[in-house]
Structure formats: C-alpha cells, structure tokens
Copies of this chain bind each other. A is one copy, B any other.
Amino acid sequence: MENIIQKHDQELMKRENIKLVLSIIKSKGPVSRAEISRIVGMSPTSVGRIVEELINTGLIKEQGQVGNGVGRKATLLKIDSESVIGIGVEVDKDCIIAGAISFSGKILKKIEISRGVSIYTPENVSLEIGKLVKKLIKDLKINKDKVIGIGVAFPGLVNVEKGEIELSAQLRWEKVKIREILQKELGDLPVIVDNEMKVKTFAESLYGMAKSSHRVALMSIGSGVGSALLISNKIYRGSSNTAGEIGHITIDPNGRLCDCGRYGCLQTYIADWALIEEANKFRQIKNMDEIIQAYHNNETWACSIISRAVNYIGTAIGILVCLYNPDTVILSGRLLGNYPEIAKKIEDMNYNYVWEPLRESFKLEFSQMGEDSAIIGAGTLALVTGLDEFIL
C-alpha cells in the first residue's frame, strides 16, 4: 500500500514539477535555468532535466543568452506560444463563435456564424462547429496535431464530467449528450464542454482582471445573467456546476413573470432582451442601441428603464458581496461592454448598493476582455486539460 502511494506520488510530483517549471517560463520568460532553479527551489539538475523534456515537446524554446560579466553566459528560455493551440467555441442564443487560442491566451484567428433562421438542434450546432473548426485549421495553415483540444461553452446548466447539457433555456435544450454528438463531428480531437460563465471566469482568472486577486466574484450581463466565484484562481462550481446562477434569484416577489415561471427573477430586470421587451411597451424598439440613443436624448421612458436596470445591477452586486465576500467584483458582458453609459451610472452610485461595513472590502472592475473571454476561456480550458497527456 505504501509503495503504491509512493509510486503514485512520484508520478504526480513529476507532472506537477513539469507544470511548475512551465508556468514559471510562461509568466517570467525569457528566463534562465538558474533563475528557474532559484524561484522554484529545485536543484539545477532537476530543472535541467525538466527543461530538456519541455524543449522536446516544443512547448518552450531557447532564445539568446545573458551574462553577468563573469563565467559562462546563460541561455534564456521562453515558451513557444504557438507550439500548441486550443480551439474555443462559444454557442450563444444568436451565433456561434470559434477561435484558435495560443498557449499564451492570444486569439490567433476568430470566425463566427450567425444563427439566422436555422433551427438550433444539437446536431446542427455540432455540424456548424465541425465546419468552423476545420476552417480555422485550414485558414491558419497548421498541422492538426498542434490542436490539443476543443472547448465548447454553452449557456445553461452543463454537466462537465458527463459532457451533457442538462438544461439551456436559451437553446431550448434539455438533457442533451452534446459531447458525444460533437465528438462525432470532430473525430479524434478531444472535446470538453462547459458552462459559458465558468469559462469566461477561467479566462479572467488567467489573463484578465482577476489574475492577481484571491477571491473574485464575476457577473456577466447580456442575453443571460450569470455569476461565478473564483477562490484562489479556482472556479467554485458547487455540487452540480451551477453555482452562481444569479439570473434566477428572486429580486422582487411582486415583479415580472420570468420564463422560468416564477415572479421577479433578476434577469427580467437586467438582461438585454428584458430591457427591449420593456421598451416595447412604450414604443416599437428593435435593439439596445435604440434604448441608449433615447436615454442620451433624455427621453423619460429610456431613463426609467436604464435607471431601474442599474439599480438592480447594484442590488445584485450587493448580494454577491454579502454572500461571496470577494476582494474584487468584475462586471462583464454585452450590456456593459457596449454601453459604457451603464457602467458609468453604476460607478456614480458610489457603492451605496452594498451594506456599509463591506463597502471597502472589495474593488469593482469592468472586464477588459470583452466578448472574447468565452472563446479564450474555452480554448485555454481545452489546452490545459489536454496538456497533461501532451507532456507525459
């Protein structure tokens, strides 16, 4: 028993050490072997062996030399960020977007198709994703072997282990074994599926505002409303990967009937379609742009709609702060990204929506990643998940 544990521990430790060295090269590179050895507290021999293995995989490469005046010059190492690629796909209510994501989180190429009039069946979606992936690989003129995996982000309740969509109101799917269907289209490319809010959060934690914070609450507002909690850069998923489903908390028991059948869910006050529906009670309005335009023209109905939405966004922030006690709250999504007026109004409220003793416990940020965070997160998730097998 002890031997088995030891053996298992050794392999795990080897894998962890490789990942550790890789992450140092990724974050601090160009960096010398000696410096890595100093940072991670590993012997120069061990570091040398691991670096050798990593160079063989193509993930890192040598670049130039540096000297300190005396003795031998040290060779610097940096990652070859385009050595491997993850493809991230976002399936939204209106469109499908796919992007090739480099090892350093950069989008190498992005393509999308609008939903148009086609019916959104799991088979259709998988077919379209298959086409997008093939087109990306062709356009980039890369070898398929460089693609470590495909990550697909869906709105709704996603069972990551089973690769199933349990429920997606936006897509009108229920209990769909989507990974299986996708796998048929994508052949031997490994597929991973997850909830869109979770992958956005993952991207923020690696490349965005959440990078250097320990406890982060994110809220995304667009066609859906979701939130997530990051604890030391790990996503808190809850018992069935649905932690953070803030769109369906009751915010006003006497409020609007939600599509879930209950009164006054948060999303009925702040999702963009809800604002458009509300505006149409007053006059015919096609999109958010028209509402914002009317708001700029000081039209009462538009001011009322924006003002109420902002108040409820504030209330939601107050709830996130009380329940998650984060050091940072990050707001993202179409509504805030496209209409800085709304972000400004939230800032003007000066944290009044939060219980006073906690007002200084967090800082409020607006995501700078924009709409790409879902494909960056999904692609990186596929990369990270696939890397284990790639390394060893």
The reply to whether A324 and B325 contact each other, CB–CB distance below 8 Å, is no
**Contact A358/B5 with A227-B323, A249-B318, A322-B249 known, Cβ cut-off 8 Å:** no
Contact with B along A226-256 (1 / 0, CB 8 A): 0101010000111111111110111011000
**Contact A215/B239 with A250-B319, A253-B311, A319-B319 known, Cβ cut-off 8 Å:** yes
Among A1, A5, A240, A352: residue with most chain B CB under 10 A = A240
Query: In the bound complex, how far is the Cα of B237 from the Cα of A214, in angstroms?
Result: 12
How far, in Å, is A307 (CB) from chain B's closest CB? 12
Q: In the complex, which residues of chain B have a beta carbon less than 8 angstroms from the beta carbon of A362?
A: 239
How many copies altogether? 2
Let me know if A14 is at the binding interface, CB within 8 A: no
The reply to whether A253 and B315 contact each other, CB–CB distance below 8 Å, is yes
Among A157, A248, A249, A252: residue with most chain B CB under 10 A = A249
How far, in Å, is A167 (CB) from chain B's closest CB? 5
**Contact A249/B319 with A242-B358, A325-B243 known, Cβ cut-off 8 Å:** yes
The reply to whether B2 and A248 contact each other, CB–CB distance below 8 Å, is no
The reply to whether A323 and B246 contact each other, CB–CB distance below 8 Å, is yes
Let me know if A82 is at the binding interface, CB within 8 A: no
The reply to whether B357 and A166 contact each other, CB–CB distance below 8 Å, is yes
Q: In the complex, which residues of chain B have a beta carbon less than 8 angstroms from the beta carbon of A237?
A: 325
How far, in Å, is A42 (CB) from chain B's closest CB? 7
Q: In the complex, which residues of chain B have a beta carbon less than 8 angstroms from the beta carbon of A326?
A: 238-239
**Contact A239/B327 with A43-B2, A252-B252 known, Cβ cut-off 8 Å:** yes
Q: Which chain A residues (278-326) contact chain B, with CB distance < 8 Å?
A: 311, 315, 318-320, 322-326
Let me know if A64 is at the binding interface, CB within 8 A: no
Let me know if A140 is at the binding interface, CB within 8 A: no
Query: In the bound complex, how far is the Cα of B243 from the Cα of A106, in angstroms?
Result: 35
Partner of A246, one of B243, B250, B322: B322
The reply to whether A315 and B250 contact each other, CB–CB distance below 8 Å, is yes
* Contacts A245-B358, A250-B319, A320-B323 known; 19 new A-B pairs at CB < 8 A: A2-B42, A2-B43, A5-B41, A167-B357, A229-B323, A240-B361, A241-B325, A242-B322, A242-B358, A244-B323, A244-B325, A246-B322, A246-B323, A248-B318, A248-B322, A249-B318, A249-B322, A265-B355, A323-B324
A–B complex contacts, Cβ < 8 Å, 5 sampled: A242-B322, A242-B357, A245-B325, A253-B315, A323-B323
